[in-house]
Amino acid sequence: MKKYLKVWWIFTFNSFQSQLLTRWAVLLFLISKLLRFFIFVVFIVLLLNKTNTLASYTLNQTLFFFLTFSLIDSLVQTIFREVYRFRPAIINGTFDFYLIKPFSPLFRALATGPDIIDLILLVPLFGAIVYFMIQLNISDPLRVGIYIFLIFIALIISLAFHILVLSLAVFTTEIDHAILVYRDITGMGRFPMDIYREPLRGILTYLLPVGIMMSFPVQALIGILSPVLILYAAVFAFILLFAAMKVWNISLQHYSSASS
C-alpha cells in the first residue's frame, strides 16, 4: 500500500505540474465548470419556485441531490481521469511498458493522472454539503455515516465501470464513446430518480445503477432509504467490481502488443 501511495504521489505531482504549465487553460476550464454548476443551481431554484416541490422533495433537498451528484462526479473525475488518456497508450504501445512495471498496470491506467480542476472544486462542494446538512437539520451521526458509506459505494461502482471501459479499450482500442455514454447516463442522477417514470426509474436505479450511486446517499441521509436497499447497494457494488476485475484479467490475456 505504501508503495502505491508513493507512486500515486509522484504521478500526481507530475500531472499537476504539467497542467499548471497552461495556467490560462486551467483557469478557463475552472470558470466554465463553475458557470455550468451555477446554471444548474439557478435552474433548480427557478423550477421549484414554480412547483415548490420536485417529486415530493423540497428545494433544499433537491439542491442536496445535485450537490451530492456533483461531489461524486468530481471525486470520480479527480481519481480516474487517467482513463481518458488510455486509448493512445494502447495504440502507440505505451501500455506494453505498463505491463513490465513493478506495480499493477490497472492502477497505472486508472489513477495516475488526477484532474487539478475537479480537485479544486471539491473544496467548495464539501462546504456547500455541510451547509445544506445544517439547513436540513441533519444531526444524526448514524445517517451521516451511512451517507458517507454510500458515497464510498458509489465510488466502488464507478471504479468497476471504469475498469470495464479500460477492458473494452484493450479488446477494441475503443474508449472515448464508452466513457461518454457512462457520463451521459450518470448525468441523469443530477435529480432524484423519483422524477422518472417506470420502467426507466427501475432501470436507472437497480440495473445501470445511477440511482444507487447518486440518489441512495441522499435518501439515506434524509431517512427514507430502507436498510434492505443499503445492503443491496453494497452487495451490488462489490459483485460488479468482482466481475469487472475478471473481465480486466481476461482482456489482458487477449492483449496483443503494438509491436506484434
The percentage of the chain sitting over the pLDDT mark of 70, rounded to a whole number, equals 98
pTM for the model stands at 0.91
State pLDDT tens for residues 152-194.
Answer: 999 999 999 999 999 999 988 888 788 888 888 999 999 999 9
Pull the grid cell for residue 78.
479527480
pLDDT at 254: 85
Residue closest to 165 by CA, chosen among 47, 48, 84, 88? 84
Cα separation of 161 and 209, whole Å? 10
pLDDT class of 119 with cuts at 50, 70, 90: confident
CB 57 within 8 A of CB 66: no
pLDDT at 258: 61
pLDDT at 237: 97
103, containing H or E segment: none
How many Cα neighbours within 13 Å face the side chain of 62? 22
Pull the grid cell for residue 29.
476550464
Is the pLDDT at 64 greater than 60? The verdict is: yes
Cα separation of 114 and 118, whole Å? 8
pLDDT at 157: 96
Sign of the torsion formed by the C-alpha atoms of 200, 147, 122 and 119? negative
Residue carrying the nine cell digits 455515516: 145
pLDDT at 211: 93
